[in-house]
């Protein structure tokens, strides 16, 4: 809005665009820590979630663009976060025979370990289970059966 005489030199400053930043190494971090690390360098996070049997809930599984890539400040980084393992209803097997109880738990996706409670008496029945029937537990977890 300033008036100048014709022929007066004017200096223009031209932007080179947003400052480039490197995507930090956030694989394996918690979502909270990854969000903070990205915000610190001026990047925006976009989250998708995925079930993963071997990674705890809230852990970063994948990053796009890859860590170490150079992007413009303000860019969006897409992360995939673990939802943790699938939870499965634990069958109640108390009072059942060991073979039947083991088969039922394994069919539901659990591993089974047995412990004899009274080695002198051998009724071969389930006395108790480490995770009660009706509760939810991660698929693939081990349930300990106490046997009498």
Condensed to tens digits (0 to 9), the pLDDT of residues 105-128 reads 999 999 999 998 877 767 899 999
The model's pTM: 0.63
Report the alpha-carbon distance of residue 24 to residue 29 in Å, rounded.
Answer: 11
Spatial CA neighbour of 94 closest among 133, 136, 49: 133
Residue 98 contacts residue 147 (beta carbons within 8 Å): yes
**Does residue 68 come out as left (phi exceeding 0), alpha (psi in the -120 to 50 range) or beta?**
left
pLDDT tens by residue, the chain, 148 residues: 889 999 999 888 998 888 899 999 999 999 999 999 999 999 999 999 999 988 889 999 999 999 999 999 999 999 999 999 889 999 999 999 999 999 999 999 999 999 988 777 678 999 999 999 999 999 889 999 999 8
DSSP letter string, 18-69: SPEEEPP--TTSBHHHHHHHHHHTT-EEEEEEE--TTS-TTBEEEEESPTT-
């Amino acid at each position: 809005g300033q008036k100048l005489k014709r022929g007066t030199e004017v200096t223009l400053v031209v932007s080179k665009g947003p400052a480039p930043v490197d995507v930090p190494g956030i694989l394996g971090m918690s979502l909270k820590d990854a969000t903070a690390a990205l915000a610190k360098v001026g990047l925006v996070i976009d989250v998708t979630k995925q079930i993963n049997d071997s990674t705890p809930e809230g852990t970063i599984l994948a990053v796009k663009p890859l860590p170490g890539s150079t992007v413009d400040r303000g860019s969006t980084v897409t992360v995939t976060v673990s939802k943790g393992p699938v939870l499965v209803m634990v069958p109640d097997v108390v009072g059942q025979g060991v073979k039947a109880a083991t088969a039922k738990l394994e069919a539901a996706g659990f591993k089974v370990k047995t412990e004899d409670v009274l080695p002198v008496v051998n009724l071969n029945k389930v006395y108790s289970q480490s995770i009660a029937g009706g509760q939810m537990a991660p698929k693939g977890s081990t349930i300990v059966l106490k046997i009498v």
